[in-house]
Structure 1
Amino acid sequence: MTLRIHRLCRVALIPLLWLAATAPAARAAVLDPAAVSVHTLPNGLRVVIKEAPAINLVALNVWVRAGSADETEANNGVSHFLEHLMFKGSKTRGPGEFDREIEGLGGVHQAVTMEDATQYLVVVAKQYAEQALAALGDVLCNPTFPEAAVREEQRIILAELARAAENPEQVLADWLGRLSFQKHSYRLPTAGTPESVRRITRAMVAEFYEKHYTADNMSLVVVGAVKPAEILPQIEAAFGGLRPGPAPKRAAAPEPAPAKVQHTTLQGPVQRGFLMVGFRSPGMADKDDVCAMDVLLYVLGERRAQSGRLNRELREKRNLVSAVWSDYVTLRDPGLVSFYAETDPDKLEQARDALLAQIARVRETLVPDDEIQRAKQLLLGVYTLDNETYDGQAGTLGFYEAKDTYQFALEYVDRIAKVTAADVQRVARKYLAANAYSLVMMQPKAKGDA
């Protein structure tokens, strides 16, 4: 359920008492369907509008259905590169003008690239929504990709990758993708590799933009103090210049889980031991499985609410790990559900075995109903927090709109309420099979190794 999107306020680990207090409110329409409408411009751009008059703000989210999963080994990182360049100049705005204009309105803007999509967001006061729409529409419809900006962003991205290479969790996640997918482009790291980023040229960026940034392959989500009748003409004026055209088909077909365990052990400049296990996860087509998997992870311990079995058994009772959690980002095609642990190097294998034993326990034994209800309460508390701001609501609606349809966000709370212990065991057996996983471990370099 993790939404890998930009939020203006992030909370790394959410207090459990706060979640318990907010979860009942989650049943009262976190995203009220009656306030949401969908419209299609003549060029094919879908527009999702949620009226929310309580605060004098408007969140604008443009979602492009293109990310690292639409790349190849040759151009890996190009979607992220393009996202970096998008605010660097248009036919009418020079480099830096978009940034200064939005900031001059008292607004904020950001962008993020994911596997299946790229998100561009702006939040401004209601009275500046039309001006912000015009600026956002201009940079997305008329980018110029100045050669000087291409060279500068290439330097910036390479520096980002160098920092990421020092993060054990990121290193493990990149290796896990490579082990878990042999053909599907989910194996490619979202930001690319140093080698692939060095190969990217302005022509490659422009080619990716021409192929994927068409009206039919994009959606605009608006949340705030707006009326559709008032803002739709402004949206058409700003985004009517987007080229129509069919959404390109992704080359890779869904890939089944590994038939046997895929495993590698790395040595790095670390003092601790780290491991990450990945199983195949449900894609957006299997919505019942998505919801059951979300509940399952809160039984075990999702990374933002670490009160589940993994934390209790491996950290509190047995002192095997200093950190342990599970994570699952819903993707368009079947992706990965991952489990991460940090421990003393000499406890690495014990931690691995104990983690896999807890997963096996969920497969083999029904989770008690009170534990299921507690997991749902925590899950819906997180969902409530994710959607307490306008940019959060726009992000949630857009996240699912980019992968399938915004409707899933509106149905999510009711779907979670229907998940049973039998559903949780069913998805555990279907996706978390005994030998259908990939495993990456990292330990300190041996003394004397360079």
Structure 2
Amino acid sequence: MRSWTTRLLVFASLLWWAPAALAGSGVPADPSEVTFRTLDNGVRVLVKENHGASLVSIQVWVRVGSRYETRENNGISHVLEHMVFRGSASLGADELKRQIEGVGGYVNAETARDSTRFEALVTTQFYARTLSALADCILHPRVEAKDLADEREVIGAELSARLADPTFECGEMMSAARFKTHPYGLPQGGTPASLRRLDANLLREFHSQYYVGPNMSVVVVGDVTAADAVAKVREAFSTAPNRKPPPVAPPAESPLEGPRKVSKIAPIQQVVMSLAFSGPGIGTPKDVLAMDVLLTALGEGATSMLQSRLRGTPPLVTGFEVDYLTQKDPGTLSVTCILPRATMNAVQTAIRGAIREIREHPLSDKQLEQARNVLEGQYTYQNETAAGQGGSLGFYEAIDSYEFALTYIDEFRRVTADQIQAVAARYFDPDAYVLAVVEPPPRGGGLEARSWFLPRPAALESVQDVAGRVASTFSALAFQELH
């Protein structure tokens, strides 16, 4: 599961629809309410009827992201996502966006490590037209040298803006230090050098390899009938090639055997520090469920273990967040803090002490029940909207199976304190971690410090400025600020 912060980031851009798009159940769906079909060309279709409002969420998840890249073509997934919005042979540049927003709809796309997601939210009367236009641009994007040059400028500006955020930079440093051989260590959006190496031919080849029927899932949730939605998806995606994507088997990452430390000086006033420990991938689902409950007990809410250690009297940090993103392959659980330089050692000691405690002592019945309740509330809130339900279904469908989303609450409710302790012992070592630090210059160091509080940006890169602003707002709320 994604941590609450990341879940908010993924779906915050959708919440302005919430008052009119309540799903009612608060969970993605009863398994019997989801219609699943595999089309003749391999496209997987998921439909959930939700007639609470005349809205339809359409999400297309492609199983490609930085996990499927190399250092040479790093960033190509994100560039290709942008090129989809340059139009197709039948739709001009930005016409997809204008067509959807022109009827009061919303369209966006994000690229992550394991997947690329395209989404639209429109009223029922326009969903067939929107589905057709979205499929056209996804399957047949116009990839020309001039368009690529224009988008390279846009993406370069995005990259510069992200690197100006010390929390983002700290996260990038942490990932690179943790994943030395696995592509999870690559920057999700590429680097200036790797972006310059990409040309139109490389993008067309990459698209032909990964934008194929068996590598796509189309999720439709809202005011539709299942039979009609499946038929419309079949028509819209009829030209998706029926061939498998290239097999990808990233090298296994070596275990952490001690601390790995990376640091950088930046013109800021407080330190950004992240401690990261090993975490499971979706291939071990029971461990994922236990890790989600563990994360909640460790750092979510006023009664969490780290809240008392880091935000006591006097507080050691200005703010902190605990983050664990379920991915296809094993990842990390990280604790990121904003803090004064003077408390760096004390904060490291407090975090490592909490990790040691959760390894050596099971949660109490009260701690376990509180963590379950908080996690259930978060997941229920996330899935209040049709778009939220579609996002949960699509997220797990992209890395494993949508069924994980349907049974999620029941399954984590079965997690025991002994299982959590066992998972902590299996993945955590208080003496084996990554420490990433972005810190202010020493006094007289020649860099002008700036005052800031920048929330951690979304794991998924948005192409919409407004979505980024909303996501940042909710990220700041999710970040453990002073109360």
Q: TM-score, normalised by structure 2?
A: 0.87
Cα pair 2:52 2:223 within 8 Å, conserved: yes
Partner of residue 408, structure 2: 412
Letter in 2 for 1:204: L
Cα pair 2:353 2:430 within 8 Å, conserved: no
Cα pair 2:27 2:380 within 8 Å, conserved: no
Partner of residue 207, structure 1: 205
Gaps of 5+ in 2: 17-23, 447-483
Letter in 2 for 1:65: R
Change (3 A) 1:306 1:212: farther
Q: Please show how residues 244-255 of structure 1 align to structure 2 within 5 Å.
A: 244-255=242-253
Question: Could you tell me how far apart the structure 1 residues matched to 2:435 and 2:164 are?
Answer: 19
Partner of residue 397, structure 1: 393
Q: Please show how residues 123-272 of structure 1 align to structure 2 within 5 Å.
A: 123-272=121-270
- 1:361 and 2:357 matched: yes
CA shift, 1:148, in A, is 2.4
Question: Could you tell me how far apart the structure 2 residues matched to 1:232 and 1:56 are?
Answer: 18
Letter in 2 for 1:220: V
Letter in 2 for 1:207: E
Partner of residue 8, structure 1: 13
Partner of residue 112, structure 1: 110
Question: Could you tell me how far apart the structure 1 residues matched to 2:49 and 2:425 are?
Answer: 41
CA shift, 1:71, in A, is 0.5
Letter in 2 for 1:390: A
Question: Could you tell me how far apart the structure 1 residues matched to 2:296 and 2:290 are?
Answer: 10
Question: Could you tell me how far apart the structure 2 residues matched to 1:29 and 1:62 are?
Answer: 20
Question: Could you tell me how far apart the structure 2 residues matched to 1:106 and 1:384 are?
Answer: 27
Cα pair 1:89 1:146 within 8 Å, conserved: no
Letter in 1 for 2:257: A
Letter in 2 for 1:118: T
CA shift, 1:180, in A, is 0.5
Identity of aligned residues (%): 36
CA shift, 1:157, in A, is 1.1
Partner of residue 465, structure 2: none
Partner of residue 285, structure 2: 287
Question: Could you tell me how far apart the structure 1 residues matched to 2:403 and 2:253 are?
Answer: 26
Question: Could you tell me how far apart the structure 2 residues matched to 1:94 and 1:178 are?
Answer: 38
Moved more, 127-136 or 431-440: 431-440
Q: Please show how residues 73-88 of structure 1 align to structure 2 within 5 Å.
A: 73-88=71-86
Cα pair 1:59 1:124 within 8 Å, conserved: yes
Q: TM-score, normalised by structure 1?
A: 0.93
Cα pair 2:50 2:223 within 8 Å, conserved: yes
Change (3 A) 1:241 1:430: same
CA shift, 1:106, in A, is 2.0
Gaps of 5+ in 1: 12-24
CA shift, 1:160, in A, is 1.2
SS of the equivalent of 2:286 reads helix
Cα pair 1:35 1:52 within 8 Å, conserved: no
SS of the equivalent of 2:264 reads strand
Q: Deviations over 1:219-270 (max 9, x none)?
A: 0011011112222221111101011111322241332422222112222111
Question: Could you tell me how far apart the structure 1 residues matched to 2:78 and 2:382 are?
Answer: 24
